[in-house]
Amino acid sequence: MKMKKITAPTMPEAMKKVRKELGSDAVILNSKVTYTGGFLGMFKSKQIEVVAGIDQQEHTVDQSAATMEQSQPIKEDNQLENEIKELKKMVSALSLNQSGYQDFPQPIRNILLKLQEQDFKESWLIETGRMLHEKWQNQPHDDEVSHWTEEHIQASLQQLSHGGIDDSKKYISLIGPTGVGKTTTIAKMAAKLVMENKKKIGFITSDTYRIGAIEQLKTYAELLNVPLEVIYNRGDFAAAVEKFKDFDHVLIDTAGRNYREVQYVEDLVNTIDFNIDIQTFLVLSMTSKYKDMKAVYERFSDMKIDGLIFTKCDESVTAGPAFHVMMESEIGAAYITNGQAVPEDIVEASHKYVSDIIIKGVNN
């Protein structure tokens, strides 16, 4: 198989390059979002990187056949995307029928299909379908089904407390697994505090495991003119607390390691005193599956978690996992991040903002 790595600003442009360089028979083997350029880790531009391949044996044809193939019209990107969406809908519709949803009226089945595509849990789908069916029987207006669904999601999220840093809390810690973007997120939070709220802040980091982690946070600290303390044990932490006793807030960046390791959480508790006046946020990636999010939460559930931070919202295509983790943990969202730019790509969560994200995902 012949393989090639291609980068482009958007997926449609990447697909055009793939077809141009490898032909219309090429297949996408992998794709991811990367960031290039920028200054000191800030203001980076987003790129789509794809790895495409083509079977050379199947692709070997004589020149006349190749010329004929090239002369045939290539499908437009939006047509290809529509075909993929239709295929997903057919698979989901079959699943819905097999799950016993066929007894619901078509408008309800349609909304359940959208919810299923957004990875909402099966048990919640059944419960929601019954609720919608009861309303529909009393008021059989097909156009109202989507509105009832939005109201149901909004009412569920209304029970949770959303919002960012509690100004009365001096110490702010971010915990979570590796790769979710804790360091970039803490830099965004710090920039908001310094630039917008004029707060005097300091950094503490215990992330001494990841290569370059300290240097990354040190760069942000220098740009914001904020002091940074690196700690390795509880004694170092106590010394840092004493040093920052006159500061408004101290933001604590913790090590990102495999959350499946029980020792990781134990090391974290042994290094940082979580019994002080501290507000702790668990950082989760919106691109994670529900089972992974749930496993991360359960690993840290013995600690007092004050809010959830969802990163990589701009890279996610599903809203269900974040919704269910919030509902089952009974913990609301504190912040949502939607890019790598510091400090722009972070939003303090509110009930309306979180509801809009979940509903937008369903309505896409």
pLDDT in tens, 105-145: 888 988 898 898 899 999 899 899 999 999 888 887 778 88
Gap between the Cα atoms of 91 and 116, Å rounded: 11
Strands (E) across the chain are located at 2-8, 27-36, 45-54, 171-175, 201-205, 228-230, 249-253, 278-285, 307-311, 333-337, 346-348
Which is nearest to 43 in space by CA: 347, 341, 343?
341
Gap between the Cα atoms of 87 and 140, Å rounded: 29
State the pLDDT confidence band at 57, using cuts at 50, 70 and 90.
low
Q: State pLDDT tens for residues 221-277.
A: 999 999 999 999 999 999 999 999 999 999 999 877 666 777 778 888 889 999 898
Q: What is the mean pLDDT of residues 298-322?
A: 91
Q: Which residues sit opposite 28 in a β-bridge? A: 52
Q: What is the pTM of this model?
A: 0.71
